[in-house]
Structure 1
């Protein structure tokens, strides 16, 4: 009988640029400073509930994204988690890995990014704090992928 040892998971937290943190926090507090007085002086319960919901979303979502954006490489897939958003990419579908400084929206909290191309014309940008370890992990687990620029 042959035993196959499972491939250990590799966990990476996102690198966070200070200016992105600043924008997220400033946006949340700006919304709070506008909506809170409106809610305090509102006489309608429904209006207060809507304003409270908006304030919660604008405060909670940026903080959730800042505190919970990470990447896990398992034996079979790359799992990306960014607040309430999730991606699962089969490692067998990874075609190319390259550096990027794109401003495109993505689960990356830094402009020091890695573009992972997978499937047919699909890609995602990530920004692991331990960039080289992340690339080395993909290089090891995705031998068919074309890895450039590292």
Structure 2
């Protein structure tokens, strides 16, 4: 079993840090003013939002286990048999996907007789393709 983490673009990381800092500042301001107990619901919502912001960073991973590629992202999990993977190509397509970078790989695979694709951004693309036993196109 090989595990690969998602590459994270600097601007995505900067956005996560800025949003977390802003929300944390709001909670700390409520605490400093002594209004935290009066605005407990807001503090809880802000704290949960910080957790949700960082969840993709901590949770996005690609696991190659025997004959299956397992992709985990937030609440979602994809399982793609390695035998169904047709090709892997480099792309910077910006459609929503389980990738935290625009430096991506497009994985074309068969599902129920139809060709589908998913976009991933492993940190080490070459090692990822070697683990898939597929040459990068």
TM-score, normalization by structure 1: 0.71
Q: Deviations over 1:20-73 (max 9, x none)?
A: 1111121233344457767974886xx733x23421232112222212321111
Partners in 2 of 1:27 and 1:116 — Cα distance? 31
Residues in 1 aligned to 2:49 and 2:119: alpha-carbon distance in whole angstroms? 23
CA distance in structure 1 between the partners assigned to 2:30 and 2:18 by the alignment = 19
Which of the residues 25, 37, 41 maps onto 2:17? 25
Instruction: Rate the CA distance shift 1:36–1:122 in 2: closer, same or farther, 3 A.
Output: farther
What are the ranges of 5 or more consecutive residues in structure 2 without an aligned counterpart?
A: none
Unaligned runs of 5+ in 1: 1-8, 141-146
Q: Distance in 2 between matches of 1:28 and 1:85?
A: 23
Contact 1:25 1:62 in 2 (8 A): no
RMSD (Å) for aligned C-alpha atoms: 2.6
Alignment of 1:96-135 (within 5 A): 96-118=87-109, 119=111, 120-135=114-129
- Corresponding residue for 1:64? 55
Match of 2:123, SS state, is coil
Other structure's SS at 1:115 match: strand
Shift of residue 74, structure 1, vs aligned partner? 1.2
Aligned residue number for residue 86 of structure 1:
77
Q: How many residues align?
A: 132
Give TM-score, length-normalised by structure 2: 0.77
Cα–Cα, structure 1 residues 24 and 67, in superposed 2: closer, same or farther, change >3 Å? same
